[in-house]
Amino acid sequence: MKYQLLKEIIGLVEEFEQENVDGIYSTDANGFKRWIVTKATDVLEEPNWDGKENGRSPESVISTLIVHMNRFAKSYSKAAIWESDFSTQEEFIYLITLRSFGEMTKMELIRRNIHEKPAGMAIINRLIKQGWIRQHDSKLDRRSKLLYITENGLSALDRQMGKIRHATQIVSGDLTYH
């Protein structure tokens, strides 16, 4: 039997104990694994990107990639609602928001979806016209109206959720928690 791997592991455990005198990591296997991951990520080399040699910052690259990701997502969202009653991706996103978080005021829904008031109101009005959401007076504030998703809205959303989930999976890729 070869013991080289075991010797390396014992050496790492010894190094872990010496570096962990402050108790930053727990002294069990989970703490050791966290230390190993931290140690491995500490030695990562700085990545290379287009334009780096000309002074382009990583923040600029990230911003550009986010813009591209948004365009990519919109393209797949359009495919997901093709031949459905939805006009825009924002309509199903507003319905998903109401389904996920429950009733809320118009401004809460607009803010949660990061829209300006005129654009958000146009989306809300289309959803009301479709019969997918309704509003009622708030019991806490009579000046305020609360929006909620209707059974028709839930049905419209459910009919497209398979395609919407597929588009979401394509856009986000295979993400893990590690």
How do residues 125-140 score in pLDDT, each as one tens digit? 999 999 999 999 999 8
Domain limits of the chain?
4-42, 58-172
Determine which helix (DSSP H) or strand (DSSP E) holds 145, and give its type and residue range.
strand 145-149
3-class DSSP assignment, residue 167: helix
Report pLDDT for 173.
85
- Count helices and strands in the chain by DSSP H and E runs: 7, 3
* The pLDDT of residue 57 is above 90: yes
Residues 58-172, CATH architecture: Orthogonal Bundle (1.10)
Report pLDDT for 177.
67
Report pLDDT for 41.
73
Which candidate, 157, 116, 111, 167, places its Cα nearest to that of 133? Answer: 157
Averaged over 27-50, what is the pLDDT?
A: 85
Percent of the chain scoring above 70 in pLDDT: 97
Task: Name the least confident of 1-5, 13-17, 19-23, 57-61.
Answer: 1-5
- Please state, in angstroms and rounded to a whole number, the distance separating the CA atoms of residues 101 and 99: 6
**pTM of the complete model beyond 0.85:** no
pLDDT digits (tens, 9 = 90+) for 60-103: 999 999 999 999 999 999 999 999 999 999 999 999 999 999 99
Report pLDDT for 55.
93
